[in-house]
Amino acid sequence: MCCATTFRNWQRYSCGRRGKVERGGKHYCGIHDPAKKEAKRVAMTARINRIGRRNDAERAVRDARDILIARICSDVHCGMSCISDGTRDAVAGFTRARNMLLTLEGEP
């Protein structure tokens, strides 16, 4: 029998399933196996971190795009015939953010 306890209706119950594996001298079913639970937790954490990195990269691209648009609009509004240094920096920032996002797209 599985040695894990579950909670239901404010009471504790023993699992009642047949023990499949033995860990540390105790028997666990497939649901409550500590090694399986840890592997699931690690996989979920990796997935959440991957999603977070992608969201950060997308936000960086959006912010860089907005800065770039603002710089171009200010150059046009001032009647400048050439590109200012601030606009060049904005283009470089946008390119860096876009490349970071593209590298993250290749991750599984």
What span, in angstroms and rounded, lies between the C-alpha atoms of 10 and 16?
Answer: 18
Name beta bridge partners: 26: 23
Residue pair 32/49 in contact (Cβ under 8 Å)? The answer is: no
What pLDDT, in 10s, does the model give residues 45-101? 999 999 999 999 999 988 888 888 877 777 666 665 566 677 778 888 888 888 888
**What is the reported pLDDT for 105?**
77
**What is the reported pLDDT for 55?**
93
For residue 20, give the nearest of 8, 9, 31, 6 by alpha carbon: 31
Tokens 């997935």 sit on residue: 47
Q: Which two tokens stand for residue 23?
A: 């860990």
Mean pLDDT (whole number) for 30-43: 93
Q: What are the residue ranges spanned by the domains of the chain?
A: 1-32, 46-105
**What is the reported pLDDT for 82?**
62
Please give the residue that has the higher pLDDT: either 62 or 44.
44
